[in-house]
Structure 1
């Protein structure tokens, strides 16, 4: 019985870890990067799981590369206030085997705050109240998105044939718009083969 409970717990933890994503938030004098789940008030910490994000790459709207400082529950980036767009990329995560399906998977995480600056392989571009999902420089039709709020609310959205969807922020506060694109194209990373590549991007939004 104890062994079964242990297996169930490990499976639950693995599922939770797979649901994690990166997101950015304005902070005094700069920008903070978090790893976890905004809607569940979950922010991974250092020492701990957040340390897996220590090699993320970050850049500003002018294209300048910035280096963050690891703190207890965030990676903090200092930059001039005029740099209104920040993007980060974590492309170095190791290949992992799925606990249920045993599929070897490579995950890549991106996050954006503001528009402009460095384009991401899977990007979210806002125009007014409409977002467009861009993959490899082209609109991604029928993309599935999730809008998360810091109060636990969430809403599923579906892009049209042009990769566009309307975004409505019901009340004041912070939101994270999340999109995931899976590629069933085998590849190799760090000498380890994988069958599926998951690309996850978030765009941070604020309703005053």
Structure 2
């Protein structure tokens, strides 16, 4: 395990002992989509570290009721069935199609700053595509292929998001980071054959309301999963990291 991985897990454990995932720590985890020949599945953990949370455990904090398949302007809801290690969907993507998922019910938490109690929420989301076909924004914080291989677009509430840090990682742990430009565009080399997960974070301190409860701070993390058919043969994935223990 890398030093970064150990630091992330240590931070996660500290947050769990306090009863909830905190904003900065939650950002170390992500949800992402993978697909086999039969169906797509949603995982929670850290793709680049081969960490997949389980049930019973942190996976049980999710409901994943907002999952959809989109193609050629058509949109239909998908069901997410929880297993011991993932949520399995009753659908998959083909070229030109996409599946999106957004968790809008993850438990919020209170914290104190300068003697004031603040309520925060965390919204993880994920998208998977089968090719580089251009897609339209559909998630609150979205990360989209533009139609040009290696180029992607970041949007927030449907509008381009500039200066957003985006990371691209493969299962072996290889990673690159870049920032979006004024049009929300960001580009990466995709040298490896196989699966990539791209990730973007955004913090919104304007406040709002969710499920009838006001919040002061919102944190978002969204991933985009894709498979590169050509390239250098991938390096082996690291040994799986044991799922975290849920103290909350």
Structure-2 separation of matches of 1:173 and 1:8: 30
The offset of 1:63, in angstroms, is 0.9
Aligned to 1:147: 168
Counterparts of 1:9 and 1:145 in 2: how far apart (Å)?
Answer: 21
Decide whether the 8 Å contact of 1:171 with 1:207 is kept in 2.
yes
CA root-mean-square deviation:
2.7
| Count of residues in Structure 1 that have an aligned counterpart in Structure 2 | 202
Unaligned 5+ segments in structure 1 are: 1-6
Unaligned runs of 5+ in 2: 1-9, 230-248
Please tell me whether the aligned partners of residues 148 and 175 of structure 1 are also in contact (alpha carbons under 8 angstroms): yes
Match of 2:198 in 1: 177
Which of 75, 80, 101 is the equivalent residue of 2:87?
75
* CA gap 1:28/1:47 in 2 versus in 1, 3 angstroms: farther
Q: Is the alpha carbon distance of 1:9 and 1:71 closer, same or farther for their aligned partners in structure 2, counting shifts above 3 Å? A: closer
TM-score (norm 2): 0.72
Which whole-Å CA distance do the structure 1 matches of 2:123 and 2:110 have between them? 15
Alignment of 1:39-188 (within 5 A): 39-61=48-70, 62-79=74-91, 82=94, 84-97=97-110, 104-114=119-129, 116=135, 119-126=138-145, 127-128=147-148, 129-188=150-209
Q: Residue 32 of structure 1 is aligned with which of 29, 35, 41?
A: 41
Query: Cα gap change, 1:93/1:170 in structure 2, threshold over 3 Å: closer, same or farther?
Result: same
100 and 185 in structure 1: CA distance in 2 versus 1, 3 angstrom threshold: closer
Structure 1 residues 121, 186: CA separation in 2 closer, same or farther (over 3 Å shift)?
Answer: closer
Q: CA deviation at 1:117?
A: 7.2
TM (norm. structure 1) is 0.84
Structure in which a larger fraction of residues adopt strand: 1
Seen in structure 2, the aligned counterparts of structure 1 residues 82 and 31 have a Cα distance that, compared at 3 Å, is same
